[in-house]
Amino acid sequence: MQARSKSRLYKIAGAILFLLTAAYFFFGRSRTGQLDTAMCKAPFDSGKPLTQYVLMVDAGSTGSRIHVYKFNNCQEVPVLEHEAFKMINPGLSSFKEDAQGAAHSLDPLLDLALASVPKHLQSCSPIAVKATAGLRLLGAEMSDKILDAVKAHLEDYPFPVIQDGVGIMDGKDEGVYAWITTNYLLGNIGSADKTPTAAVFDLGGGSTQIVFEPEADVVDMHEGDHKYKLQYGGREFLLYQHSHLGYGLMEARKAIHQEVQKTGGVHPCFAPGTTMEVQLAGKVTFTGAASNGAAQCRFLAEKILNKQGLCNLAPCSFNGIYQPALASFKGEAFVFSYFHDRLKPLGVPSSFTVGDVMALTEQVCAGKDGWQQFSAIDGALAALEEEPNYCLDLSFMVSLLHHGYEMPVDRRLRTAKKIKDNELGWCLGASLPLLDAGTGGWSCRVTEIH
């Protein structure tokens, strides 16, 4: 009797799953009878739902962020209709041994998801939590405990967790997803048209990524993990990508501080008159140089890039890493994340050159005597006062772009936090494949029957 009863429950659960999925895919109305989008009345493809939501949590090295994406299927290619976003500090990696604390730190983000996704769509709105460089640096044992706790905690929420959806993201995927995000929002991909694509340079806390589509004269790239074939929207793209682990801004700061520690307490990257206590192996107190230390600071930044490292496969960017030369790349180049966060408060426009950043760095590294020109920019002086690492951060960025990637000083760059009111970064690019439940590795969630 017990076996027969259990079999019956499985059949009921299966029937509910079928009905739930059918309702999801063939009806675009809420329980009140209203359409879930004002963009159209029916999906372009009758086999797809009218609207879909994807939830992506970016567990970065300095904080966690959730992106709640709403798509409509009014056209052949899914259209991003709305994005809800929230960020919290600190990141998962800061909890270390407190795995439960790390998991519950995501609650404010999940509360936003509950408020943003209509209740009747929550059980068919997949969620993923992707950790990046910060958690990688904790080591396998500690990071695994945190990720296991996060996965278990997500079971308390109605959203289906995608297969292998809670984990540390491969660095190469992080960069490629950011490339997809940028070019999707720019309208460069999604159709069979041969539209030129933009390169992306993403500077995080623990790592930095570069992804671009080399020009036709260098498409015969050497084989290796740097080579990434992508099919999207009826086109095939051959991309170069690399994630430089340990070359994010926070890791670069540490490396530069350690270089200065070897020679004494005078730090050329701190403005004249500055005293700064830094946590390395222990607490170290540095004092700023007597005069503008921009040149010396940039020298230190170039040193940690290890440009002289053994290059087994030419050409190389830095630290012995193969990279096709950027000199022939004619497309747009987007720099974001920490690039944007450091440049925008100082009044840098959305389009600028590498040379512009060099000049800005000189002025910032001069200390308060060189900051008068920022007085007309709302919030700029406060930003400089609050962040004593500003000179160091800009010096590293200039060195990375000009010395590391060998961009000429007149190379024009673009930066943005958003395109068309949507956040840049890897999250949207990682979410687009999840719109297809079959290939995305998830199915609508059914409440357990007792």
Task: Give residue 10's pLDDT.
Answer: 44
In a domain, 450, yes or no: no
Residue 365 has pLDDT above 70, yes or no: yes
- In the chain, the amino acid numbered 11 is K
Question: 272: Cβ–Cβ under 8 A, 6 or more apart, which residues?
Answer: 288, 289, 290, 291, 292, 293, 366, 367, 369
Q: Grade residue 315 by pLDDT with cuts at 50, 70 and 90.
A: very high
Contact 63, 131 (CB under 8 A): no
In a domain, 130, yes or no: yes
Residue 5 has pLDDT above 80, yes or no: no
In a domain, 320, yes or no: yes
In a domain, 432, yes or no: yes
Task: Give residue 1's pLDDT.
Answer: 47
pTM exceeds cut of 0.75:
yes
Q: How far is CA 264 from CA 32, 261, 293, in A?
A: 70, 5, 15
Q: Grade residue 26 by pLDDT with cuts at 50, 70 and 90.
A: very low
- Catalytically annotated residue among 174, 251, 302, 332: 174
Q: Answer yes or no: do 359 and 289 share one domain.
A: yes
Q: Answer yes or no: do 164 and 182 share one domain.
A: no
In a domain, 445, yes or no: no
440: annotated binding-site residue?
A: no
Got the DSSP string for 242-271? EEEET-SHHHHHHHHHHHHHHH-SEETTSP
> What is the rounded distance in angstroms from the CA atom of residue 256 to the CA atom of residue 433?
39
Q: Answer yes or no: do 202 and 320 share one domain.
A: yes
- Helix residue ranges per DSSP H, 98-210: 99-104, 107-116, 133-136, 140-154, 171-186
Q: What is the mean pLDDT of residues 264-268?
A: 86
Residue 205 has pLDDT above 60, yes or no: yes
Q: Considering the chain, what percentage of its residues have pLDDT values greater than 70?
A: 90
CATH no. for residue 17? 3.30.420.40
Q: Answer yes or no: do 268 and 163 share one domain.
A: no
- Percent composition of the chain: helix, strand, coil (DSSP 3-state, to 5): 40, 25, 35
Residue 125: which domain range?
2-169+426-440
CATH no. for residue 392? 3.30.420.150
Q: Grade residue 194 by pLDDT with cuts at 50, 70 and 90.
A: confident
In a domain, 181, yes or no: yes
Beta bridge partners of 316: 322
337: annotated binding-site residue?
A: no
In a domain, 62, yes or no: yes
| Environment class of 115 (CB within 10 Å of its CB; exposed 0-12, middle 13-18, buried 19+) | exposed
In a domain, 375, yes or no: yes
Q: Answer yes or no: do 270 and 334 share one domain.
A: yes
Is the pLDDT higher at 346 or at 139?
A: 346
Residue 31 has pLDDT above 50, yes or no: no
Total residues found in the chain within this entry: 450
> What is the rounded distance in angstroms from the CA atom of residue 84 to the CA atom of residue 423?
10
Catalytic residue check, 174: yes
Helix, strand, or coil (residue 109): helix
Phi, psi (rounded to 5 degrees) for 273: 85, 0
Residue 11 has pLDDT above 60, yes or no: no
206: annotated binding-site residue?
A: yes
123-132, 188-197, 328-337: least confidently modelled range: 188-197
Domains contained in the chain, number: 2
Task: Give residue 21's pLDDT.
Answer: 47
Q: Answer yes or no: do 188 and 95 share one domain.
A: no
407-442 pLDDT per residue, tens: 999 999 999 999 988 888 889 999 998 998 888 899
205: annotated binding-site residue?
A: yes
Record the tokens describing residue 210, joined without a space.
């570069």
Q: What is the mean pLDDT of residues 200-229?
A: 86
309: annotated binding-site residue?
A: no
Q: Answer yes or no: do 21 and 116 share one domain.
A: yes
227-247 pLDDT per residue, tens: 999 888 778 899 999 999 999
Q: Answer yes or no: do 245 and 280 share one domain.
A: yes
Task: Give residue 218's pLDDT.
Answer: 58
Task: Give residue 420's pLDDT.
Answer: 87
Q: Answer yes or no: do 272 and 316 share one domain.
A: yes
Q: Answer yes or no: do 64 and 147 share one domain.
A: yes
Q: Answer yes or no: do 154 and 282 share one domain.
A: no
Beta bridge partners of 161: 127
Q: Answer yes or no: do 19 and 135 share one domain.
A: yes
> What is the rounded distance in angstroms from the CA atom of residue 49 to the CA atom of residue 341?
37
Average pLDDT, the chain: 88
4-13, 33-42, 321-330: least confidently modelled range: 4-13
Question: 437: Cβ–Cβ under 8 A, 6 or more apart, which residues?
Answer: 124, 126, 443, 444
